[in-house]
């Protein structure tokens, strides 16, 4: 899958995840020990480990996505589940791919796939102690005005995208939880 298509798919995916489609998904515990209200998620296939709020649900059966951690609905009127998702893309066929190059190509796809796209920031960061690009952007998908925080790193021939997505007016509310998930991500 090309980087542009991946970013477009990601933008479409995050809107769908937050919709009512997954409101009825059963909660899944991954067997990791809870600590301070957090559970541990591990995925050997992708070499991932992360902590997430124990009250949040995990989804792993979403094509192209390693895992989605999503918040429970706040009320019956809550139509969007704020979430953190992790995508892993094989870029081994593109030698020399860096997080910077990946992001540069991907931003064009985001501009095309999100209405009212606005890039708020693109700065150096880290994922699992490795250099990354940290993007912040907003956009509209259908009825939802969304705010994104995304970390992108390339490790061992794979691009890892860790993305927090929330309705714009709830972004600050869940940001501390999202940052804790980001900080806990470990890539083997």
Break the chain into its structural domains and give their ranges: 3-187
3-187 folds as Protein Transport Mog1p; Chain A (3.40.1000)
Query: What is the reported pLDDT for 29?
Result: 44
**Quick check: 183 pLDDT over 50?**
yes
Pairing of strands 115-127, 130-141: antiparallel
Q: Which of 27-31, 77-81, 165-169 has the highest mean pLDDT?
A: 165-169
Task: Report pTM.
Answer: 0.84
Q: How far apart are CA 93 and CA 157, in angstroms?
A: 8
Q: 86: which residues sit within 8 A by CB, 6+ positions away?
A: 46, 48, 50, 65, 66, 67, 68, 160, 161, 162, 163, 185
Query: What is the reported pLDDT for 58?
Result: 95
Q: Are 135 and 148 in contact (CB under 8 A)?
A: yes
Residue 99 has, within 13 A of its CA and on its CB side, a CA count of 23
The pLDDT tens digits of the residues spanning 87-138 come to 999 999 998 899 999 999 899 899 999 999 999 999 999 999 999 999 999 9
Q: How far apart are CA 39 and CA 33, in angstroms?
A: 6
Residue 168 has, within 13 A of its CA and on its CB side, a CA count of 13
């Amino acid at each position: 899958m090309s980087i542009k298509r991946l970013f477009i798919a990601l933008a479409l995916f995050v809107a769908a995840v937050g919709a009512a489609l997954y409101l009825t998904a059963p909660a899944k515990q991954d067997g990791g020990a809870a600590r301070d209200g957090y559970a541990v998620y591990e995925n050997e296939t992708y070499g991932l480990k992360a902590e997430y709020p124990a009250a949040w649900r995990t989804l792993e059966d979403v094509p192209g996505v390693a895992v989605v951690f999503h918040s429970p609905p706040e009320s019956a009127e809550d139509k969007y589940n704020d979430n953190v998702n992790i995508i892993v893309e094989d870029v081994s066929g593109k030698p020399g791919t860096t997080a910077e190059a990946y992001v540069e190509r991907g931003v064009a796809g985001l501009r095309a796939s999100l209405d009212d796209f606005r890039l708020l920031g693109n700065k150096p960061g880290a994922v699992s102690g490795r250099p990354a690009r940290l993007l912040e952007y907003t956009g509209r998908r259908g009825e939802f005005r969304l705010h994104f925080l995304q970390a992108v790193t390339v490790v061992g021939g794979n691009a890892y995208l860790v993305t927090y997505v929330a309705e714009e007016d709830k972004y600050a509310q869940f940001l501390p939880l999202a940052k804790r998930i980001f900080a806990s991500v470990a890539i083997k």
